Amino acid sequence: MSPSIVEFDSKQSGFQQVQDLSLQYNSVRQLSVAIVGPLSDADATVQPMDDASPAKWHLAHTTWFFETFVLREQLPGYRAFDDRFDYLFNSYYEAKGPRHPRPRRGMLSRPSLEAVLRWRCHVDHFLGDALPRLSPDACDMVTLGLAHEQQHQELMLTDLLHLFSQNPLLPAMWESPARTYSTACSDRKWIEGTHGIVEIGHDGSGFAFDCEGPRHPVFLHRHALADRPVTNGEWIEFIADGGYADPALWLADGWAWVQREAIGAPLYWRGTDEGWHDFGLDGLHPIDPSAPVTHISHYEADAFARWAGARLPTEVEWESAAQAFDAMSGNQLDEAGPVRPRSAQGGPGFRQLFGDVWEWTGSAYLPHPGFRPAEGAVGEYNGKFMSGQQVLKGSSCATPRGHTRASYRNFFYPHQRWQFTGLRLAKDL
């Protein structure tokens, strides 16, 4: 079963809703364990940078979420597996007390990976047994916890990729069949978007994070979007044309970042005598020129768009175009195994709106008109991060299938690029 979030049908019986939620809970939780299957305890403990977390910490934090927000609040007399874990595995919930410093998560050699997995089994047992007795509000919290865990599944993969890229041996997490490349890439086509009054934001049916709403009208001027994301081959042209050396292409903060960090290519690209290679969870391979470029920052995406005589799409333009498309389509995560962006398939209309790479927009991550964060500690989930970050839309090859929708708002700081982040061009008409 693809791990997706339950959308309850009001006509279903309460029993059927609980059955669906139970199946989804087991599916999501099992995928997390499958992802760490190839890892040693050391692999799961190391933290390669402050932005990333150890795989063991992701497994523990998602378990902390269910124990803290469901079991402790809904089951009278429930005894936590280990009260000390509150401090170790809280992330940023100020309402839930102090926490271990994020940059030092990699110092937690104890508890072991095996102990964290035992904790997961403990929580899964009690939550599974309690599901039929939970209130509708508590079931909603379980659904939120599943979406939260799916986010951490993607983070586990991207954090592990960054970890293994730091190892001089460049180890593959998963072996994969030999890559086959299509050197031919279709010419970029422009598709005119809807103009005038459009509506964006979640419509209220099924699950969504609080930051996706409320739905509201916005005016769009005439514009067009590219039919596909920018490819590796096009990025190689950007590099060859001196794109990383021309300050006229860059935002001031972006140029300072390029100079300070000596940036000259996407993250994980390595120049060799045989040409460009990129490192992935399946090891080091020659660049696929027709696949979408990934692991680029917002600064890089913006500079490329300027070099190409275009711009980044706004969040509204992107979402308006994507609303008619199936968010479960495309190259997304279905099971543990090698993940990488793939070439666009031929055909008319937009391609790869969902899957392969998250797409940077030119829009700041700010509240929609009328936004109100959820009450209680879970209100810290999204709203307090609405400062200094950019919106990304779609999903990536590491996103669990069924996790996203057109209204989904991913967000990162403009310099960050360890996620599967790419871009689609836009222009005014």
DSSP secondary structure letters along 272-286: ETTEEEEEETTEEEE
Calculate mean pLDDT across residues 192-202: 96
Report d(CA 282, CA 272) in Å as an integer: 18
pLDDT band at 10 (very low <50, low <70, confident <90, very high): very low
C-alpha distances out from residue 105 to 81, 91, 133, 366, Å: 20, 10, 35, 29
Q: Is the pLDDT of residue 28 over 50?
A: yes
Q: Please name which of 191, 92, 155 lies closest in space to residue 410, comparing C-alpha atoms.
A: 155
Q: Is the pLDDT of residue 1 over 50?
A: no
Q: Please name which of 324, 242, 233 lies closest in space to residue 278, comparing C-alpha atoms.
A: 233
Domain boundaries, the chain: 14-165, 190-428
Q: Is the pLDDT of residue 4 over 70?
A: no
Of the listed ranges 28-32, 211-215, 375-379, the one predicted with least confidence = 375-379
pTM score of the predicted model: 0.94
pLDDT band at 6 (very low <50, low <70, confident <90, very high): very low
In SS3 terms, the chain reads as: CCCCCCCCCCCCCHHHHHHHHHHHHHHHHHHHHHHCCCCCCCCCCCCCCCCCCCHHHHHHHHHHHHHHHHHHHHCCCCCCCCCCHHHHHCCCCHHHCCCCCHHHHHHCCCCCHHHHHHHHHHHHHHHHHHHHHCCHHHHHHHHHHHHHHHHHHHHHHHHHHHHHHCCCCCCCCCCCCCCCCCCCCCCCCEEECCCEEEEECCCCCCCCCHHHCCCEEEEECCEEEECCCCEHHHHHHHHHCCHHHCHHHCCHHHHHHHHHHCCCCCCCEEEECCEEEEEECCEEEECCCCCECCCCCHHHHHHHHHHCCCECCCHHHHHHHHCCCCCCCCCCECCCCCCCCCCCCCCCCCCCCCCCCEEEEEEECCCCCCCCCCCCHHHHCCHHHCCCCEEEEECCCCCECCCCCCCCCEEECCCCCCCCEECCCEEEC
Backbone angles phi, psi at 333, to 5 degrees: -80, 120
Calculate mean pLDDT across residues 99-104: 94
The percentage of residues in the chain with a pLDDT greater than 70, rounded to a whole number, is 95
The percentage of residues in the chain with a pLDDT greater than 90, rounded to a whole number, is 83
Beta bridge partners of 79: none
Q: Please name which of 100, 119, 8 lies closest in space to residue 62, comparing C-alpha atoms.
A: 119
Q: Which of 19-28, 270-279, 419-428 has the highest mean pLDDT?
A: 419-428
Q: Tokens standing for 1? A: 């079963």
Calculate mean pLDDT across residues 265-288: 94
CATH architecture of 190-428: Alpha-Beta Complex (3.90)
* Cβ-count burial 233-269 (b if 16+ within 10 Å, e if not): bbbbebbeeebbeeeebbeeebbebbeeeebebbbbb
Does 190-428 match 14-165 at the fold level? no
Q: Give the mean pLDDT of the chain.
A: 92
pLDDT band at 363 (very low <50, low <70, confident <90, very high): very high
CATH architecture of 14-165: Up-down Bundle (1.20)
Query: What pLDDT was estimated at residue 68?
Result: 95
Read off the pLDDT of residues 324-336 as tens digits, 9 standing for 90 and up: 999 999 999 998 7
Calculate mean pLDDT across residues 382-389: 90
Query: What pLDDT was estimated at residue 344?
Result: 86
Q: Is the pLDDT of residue 425 over 90?
A: yes
> Residue 266, preceding bond cis, omega within 30 degrees?
no
Q: Tokens standing for 323? A: 């609303």
Of the listed ranges 56-60, 105-109, 132-136, 403-407, the one predicted with least confidence = 132-136
Q: Is the pLDDT of residue 215 over 70?
A: yes
Classify 337 in phi/psi space as left (phi over 0), alpha (psi -120 to 50) or beta. Answer: left
Read off the pLDDT of residues 59-70 as tens digits, 9 standing for 90 and up: 999 999 999 999
